[in-house]
Structure 1
Amino acid sequence: MITSLSITNYALIDFLEVGFNNGFSIITGETGAGKSILLGGLSLVLGKRADISQVKDTSKKCVIEAVFDIAGYSLKSVFKNADLDYDPQTIIRREILPSGKSRAFVNDTPVTLDSLNQLSVHLLDIHSQHQTLQLVDDQFQFRVIDALAKNEKQLENYNTELNNYKSLKQELKQIQDFAIDAKKEYDYNLFLLNELTEANLIDGELQELEETYEQLSNVETINETISYSISLLNAEEIGVVDRLAEIKRQFTNISNFGKQYEAIQQRIESTAIELDDILIELDNLEGELTSDPSTLDKVNQKLLILNNLLKKHSVSEVSELIAIREELSEKISVSENLDSDINVLQTKINASEEKLKSIATELNKKRVEVTPKFTKKLQDILTQLGMSNARFDIQFRLTDGFKINGMDELQFLFMANKGGNFTELKKSASGGELSRIMLAIKSILAKHIKLPTIMFDEIDTGVSGEISNKMGDIMKDMSKNMQVFSITHLPQIASKGNWHYKVYKTDTNNVTQTQMRLLSQDERIVELAQMLGGSNITESAIAHAKQLLN
């Protein structure tokens, strides 16, 4: 319920602050007094778009703030879904800056207008003849029937499964689209993979093959070089090894004559040892390498294959070719498994469809079961409101498609007069009839679900005294379960409120301002008397006002 409202610098309001109570509150005032201004301010709190022309003094900020007691509305999940901090005393504030920019806050947290709209439907419902257009919207009609059928849990399960179903369908489409492209590339990728696989790639083999090729291509030169080197090192009397041995002997004789000679002697000895090792290595290599045209041809062919592959794939190392081979293998594997993945997804989709159909069938059954009792109650209330011949025929038909609230198609048919035909509600009911039908529906809903605060804006326009009396009774009865406001011109309705507020204008320093205040019991009698007989209050009007209040 709304507990307070403050408005600063809006339209004809310089500053207004008013508190509200639970139960049935009446708001009255002469035409033009500013009741529409009050509704305009509330609409901004509910998320309506702001207009700088609504600001009283455009050099100052306009602020509208409403406080709601929401402890009994089970709205924690709504706040959580909106990523807002929950507070049983929730404050909504709208600001219109001199620049024309508008801002909205919920418990001092900035929010978008979309978020504010989604939250506000749980807090306050302003009902006027314009809002009765909602009645002909099939989504609203579904919400009414589902509330009476207590379908909340089934609808929650249905929506959860519907989201899962849509997700699976989207995933399937993505895989199918991918499969089309993958199959186009499959043959080419398979050819490339086979080419790389047949090459028997080994990391580092390119360098080894190039060395082998160079050796086999130069066998004679290598063997001649080895043989000639051995002869130079090992020739009798003139070989390098013998000559170095002689030098070593000579320096051995003088090594004791000085450290410098000893150092040279040691270096000569190390060189001699190294030369002996080289000679042994050359002896081992001599004759090891022989001409092998067959092997040379194989190495050459492998080098050609590798170099062609490196060029083809624009890489420089065999390790990169191996990585490309693995990547192609993965693509081929994915392509070959796509049909299996598609079948698995299709199986999940089929299971989800069956689950949705089961829940939708249960929703349909409960809707059909509750409808006769609802139409009977609706017709009874409308009879009290002067529509004794009104009849409804609410029909459900299961379809093949999955809609946001099941698989039902809903027809809300209406007949206003005897002997007429049932036609769609939006085509057959007048504005006044729709207004009374909406009142009847909301009065029924008030006994089954926790509705937000509702404000009826001159719903009694064009209604006779007796019917307005019944309207007042209905709104009074609704207020037992929720906070109800009625903006009215009829004393029969105004007299039934627990609280009575008056909207009026004052002129201060040649400036007209709109004000609003809660009337005392005596002030209420005067207000009702004026509503009954005009500004010239008579004793009979006073007596009649007291009678209405009693």
Structure 2
Amino acid sequence: MLSSITIKNFALIEDVQLTLDEHFNIITGETGAGKSIILGALALLIGKRADLSSMRDATKKCVIEGIFNIQNYDLNSFFESEELDYEPQTIIRREILPSGKSRAFINDTPVRLQQLAGLGEQLIDIHSQHQTLAIGNTNYQYAILDAIADNYSTLNDYKSAVAELKNRQIEYAQLKEKQAEAQKTYEYNLFLLEELQEAKITPQIQVELEEQQNALSNIEMLQENLGFASHQFNQEDTGVLALLRQIKQKLGALNDFGSKYAELNERLKSCLVELEDLSSEVEDQQESIEHNPEALALVNDQLDKIYALQRKHQTDSLDELLQIQRELEDKVQLTTNAQEAVAKLKLAIEQQQKKCAEKAQKLYKNRLKVIPKFIQAVKITLANLGMPDTRLEIQLKPTADFNTWGQDQMQWLFSANAGMSLNEISKAASGGELSRITLAVKSILAKYKQLPTLIFDEIDTGISGDIAKKMGEVMRQMSQKLQVVAITHLPQVAAKGSNHLKVQKETQAGKTQTLIKHLGHPERIEELAEMLGGNRESKSAMAHAEALLVDSAQQ
């Protein structure tokens, strides 16, 4: 609900503040007084593009600020998703600087125009006679029926299911494309893969093979050095082990002369054990070495294959070569298991289509169920608004494809007069009739969902008398559930308001400006008298005006 709006330096307005109540607010004034300026300011407040020419004084900043009570609008998730501070009393401010730059704030936090528009559309719905064609918009028609049918949760589930279906269909198309591409190179990729697999590459194999190659190529040197070492270890009397044993015997004789001599003996004993083990290992290595040209040939052949593969795939790293092997395995596997992958994904798509169809069918049945009740309510309201012979038919037909709203298509057909054939509602009704249809629809819709503040801009143009009175009554009844603002020239409508504002233009010191005044009861009588074509001097006009207010108060 819009509690108040402050407008500074905008068009003919220098500085005004409007205070609105939560029910039915009336704005009246002579043509050209500046009522459209208020609408322009509201439009800026909910995210419309700014125009530097709309500034009263181009050297000063234009500021439009609105205070909204939003505790009943369930907007916490919007504020959370946009990372904004939620306040039950939210302040929206729009500034246009002399430079032409525009700024917007929600609760003093700077926001993008897109964010402002996202919030604004949930707070204010500006409806003029030029916007009545929205009633012929398919999306709008579905939104109306789904609100009445309480389809909100099911529709969200349906949209999520369709989004998942589209994702899987995209995945399916991409898989088919990859398969087609992989099939073209399957034989070549398979050849490359088998070539790599045959080489039996591991991360350390090249180092191991090069060590084997080096050893097998230097057998004589290995045997000579190992033989020398073994001889020096084990030569009788003068070998390393023989000498150490003699030293051990001598040191062992000193054990009784103190622990430090015993410790020396133990250390030598440990060294002797280690060297005896080392001598044995050298001897084993020497005996195991023999000339093996066949083994060397195998090692050389395997290394040559690895070097050739590295050159072929233009890499010096075995890790990169293994990565290439894995990529080739994936490509070959994709082709090898193509039918299985396609069949699995195709089944998933069919299951998701079934899920979407179930949700769509539920939406369809819910809509069918409420159509008769909705049509009857529209006809009753339109009859009260001077259209007793209207016919409204809503055709809802199943379709094969999934669309935004389900698996059906809808058309609203309308006839305003008896004997006239049905036609699309936007073509069958005049501007004034569309205004009344829209008012009837929104009055019904207000019973089923929390609507934003509704602002009606002279939608009562072209009607008068008793019909105007009834239109005002419909708006007044709507205002029991939501805030309504009506800009009107009709006294019958104006009399229904719970809060009356008058827009007037004054010239002071050679400058024209628009002022807005809150009217008390006596002033409302005078304003209504003028709207009736009289003036405050006309007793009959004043009496008629007072009668209108009394009549409205009694209803």
**Is TM more than 0.5 here?**
yes
CA distance in 2, matches of 1:435, 1:428: 13
Q: Hey, what does 1:15 align to over in structure 2?
A: 15
Distance change >3 Å, CA 159–CA 286, structure 1 → 2: closer
Write the mapping of 1:114-263 to structure 2, written as runs, cut at 5 A. Answer: 114-207=114-207, 209-210=209-210, 213=213
Q: Which moved more, 1:108-117 or 1:449-458?
A: 108-117
1:124 CA drift (Å): 1.3
Q: Hey, what does 2:501 align to over in structure 1?
A: 501
CA distance in 1, matches of 2:208, 2:454: 88
Q: Which moved more, 1:135-144 or 1:179-188?
A: 179-188
Distance change >3 Å, CA 497–CA 363, structure 1 → 2: same
1:310 CA drift (Å): 2.2
2:3–2:21 contact (8 Å) kept in structure 1: yes
Code of the residue aligned with 1:150 in structure 2: it is D
Q: Hey, what does 2:269 align to over in structure 1?
A: none
CA distance in 1, matches of 2:333, 2:63: 64
CA distance in 2, matches of 1:518, 1:227: 115
1:3–1:21 contact (8 Å) kept in structure 2: yes
Q: Hey, what does 1:274 align to over in structure 2?
A: none
- Secondary structure of the residue that 2:85 maps to in structure 1? coil
Distance change >3 Å, CA 298–CA 93, structure 1 → 2: same
Distance change >3 Å, CA 213–CA 77, structure 1 → 2: closer
- Secondary structure of the residue that 1:462 maps to in structure 2? coil
Q: Hey, what does 1:65 align to over in structure 2?
A: 65
1:186 CA drift (Å): 3.7
1:523 CA drift (Å): 0.9
2:413–2:422 contact (8 Å) kept in structure 1: yes
CA distance in 2, matches of 1:76, 1:283: 84
Distance change >3 Å, CA 112–CA 340, structure 1 → 2: farther
CA distance in 1, matches of 2:116, 2:16: 23
- The unaligned stretches of length 5 or more in structure 2 are 233-238, 244-277, 551-555
1:26–1:499 contact (8 Å) kept in structure 2: yes
- Secondary structure of the residue that 1:480 maps to in structure 2? coil
For residues 44-96 of structure 1, what are the alpha-carbon distances to aligned partners after superposition, in whole Å with 9 as ceiling and x for unaligned? 11211110110111111111011111222223233334443322111111111
2:526–2:536 contact (8 Å) kept in structure 1: no
- Secondary structure of the residue that 2:100 maps to in structure 1? coil
Structure 1 residue 407 corresponds to structure 2 residue 407? yes
Write the mapping of 1:107-506 to structure 2, written as runs, cut at 5 A. Answer: 107-207=107-207, 209-210=209-210, 213=213, 292-318=292-318, 320-333=320-333, 336-337=336-337, 339-506=339-506
- Secondary structure of the residue that 1:473 maps to in structure 2? helix
Distance change >3 Å, CA 143–CA 288, structure 1 → 2: closer
1:319 CA drift (Å): 5.3
Code of the residue aligned with 1:481 in structure 2: it is K
Structure 1 residue 514 corresponds to structure 2 residue 527? no
Distance change >3 Å, CA 94–CA 291, structure 1 → 2: same
Q: Which moved more, 1:415-424 or 1:133-142?
A: 415-424
Code of the residue aligned with 1:454 in structure 2: it is L
CA distance in 1, matches of 2:298, 2:106: 80
Code of the residue aligned with 2:443 in structure 1: it is S
1:391 CA drift (Å): 0.6
- Secondary structure of the residue that 1:542 maps to in structure 2? helix
Q: Hey, what does 1:40 align to over in structure 2?
A: 40
- The unaligned stretches of length 5 or more in structure 1 are 234-240, 246-277
1:42 CA drift (Å): 0.6
Distance change >3 Å, CA 287–CA 29, structure 1 → 2: closer
CA distance in 1, matches of 2:280, 2:123: 101
Distance change >3 Å, CA 413–CA 226, structure 1 → 2: closer
CA distance in 2, matches of 1:23, 1:285: 104
Q: Which moved more, 1:53-62 or 1:183-192?
A: 183-192
CA distance in 1, matches of 2:222, 2:378: 111
- Secondary structure of the residue that 1:139 maps to in structure 2? helix
2:455–2:486 contact (8 Å) kept in structure 1: yes
Distance change >3 Å, CA 31–CA 301, structure 1 → 2: same
1:296 CA drift (Å): 4.1
Code of the residue aligned with 2:120 in structure 1: it is S
1:136 CA drift (Å): 0.8
- Secondary structure of the residue that 1:200 maps to in structure 2? coil
- Secondary structure of the residue that 1:525 maps to in structure 2? helix
1:208 CA drift (Å): 5.2
Q: Which moved more, 1:497-506 or 1:309-318?
A: 309-318
CA distance in 2, matches of 1:192, 1:106: 62
Code of the residue aligned with 2:516 in structure 1: it is M
- Secondary structure of the residue that 2:129 maps to in structure 1? coil
- Secondary structure of the residue that 1:387 maps to in structure 2? coil
Code of the residue aligned with 2:314 in structure 1: it is S
Code of the residue aligned with 1:66 in structure 2: it is G
CA distance in 2, matches of 1:140, 1:490: 28
Q: How many matched pairs?
A: 514
Q: Percent identity?
A: 46
CA distance in 2, matches of 1:75, 1:221: 87
CA distance in 2, matches of 1:379, 1:285: 108
1:138 CA drift (Å): 0.7
Aligned Cα RMSD in Å? 3.3
- Secondary structure of the residue that 1:533 maps to in structure 2? coil
Q: Hey, what does 1:78 align to over in structure 2?
A: 78
CA distance in 1, matches of 2:374, 2:424: 18
Code of the residue aligned with 1:201 in structure 2: it is I
Code of the residue aligned with 1:426 in structure 2: it is S
Distance change >3 Å, CA 192–CA 4, structure 1 → 2: same
